[in-house]
Amino acid sequence: MFLLGCAMAESIFAPLSERTVHLCIDMQRIFSSEGIWPAPWLERVLPVAAELASRRPERTIFTRFMTPRRAEDMPGMWRRYYGKWREATQEHLDPQMLELLPLLGALVPPATVVEKMRYSAFSNSALLSLLQTRGADGIIVTGSEADVCVLATVLDAVDLGYRVVLVRDGVSSSSDEGYDALLTVYHRRYSLQIETANAEEVLRLWP
């Protein structure tokens, strides 16, 4: 587990400023063992995400991946996607499945929630507005999953010029192979724009 991630461990370039925001991606019941889209590592990384969020809940933003009411409500290939996963649409899904995991939901407020219907958290312009309002100069990223919503969000954050610190032991994945492949890409292709570190180091360097 975490073989390449550990072997290629990097350190944070510099201490994180007080303006840094913790962005926790899609830690919801639908992705837990009780949901229809279980992410095998979700429960494993939950304590890490919760520790970071509880350190500065007022500077934590949780995202929730929201499914449409019906497949036909979505455009293009999303309609095809939800045609296969109709049980995930809100006309069939228990709405409680879209809630944050209780350990994290208890931190709202002061933590904030942004809802989205696409992979990237920046697909909802409210996130960028929140970051700008708070004067954020960087984001700490935890959540689910490393090779889907976390990946899309991280790349959008890079495009927007934010400092990005990915918490290696705070992101879940559906497979070891997918996780290790993503860490390899981050280190080899984006090493000047994406930093990776374990939660212990992030907590030590975040005021």
Coil, strand or helix: which one is 54? helix
For the stretch 117-156, pLDDT in tens is 999 999 999 999 999 999 999 999 999 998 899 999 999 9
For the stretch 90-100, pLDDT in tens is 999 999 999 99
| Domain annotation for the chain: domains and CATH numbers | 3-66+99-205 (3.40.50.850)
Token digits of residue 10:
């990097």
Whole-model pTM: value is: 0.92
pLDDT for 10 equals 55
pLDDT for 73 equals 97
Which residues fall within 8 angstroms of residue 139, CB to CB, at 6 or more apart?
Answer: 20, 21, 22, 23, 131, 157, 162, 163, 164, 165
Asked if residue 144 lies in contact with residue 37, where contact means CB atoms within 8 angstroms, the answer is no
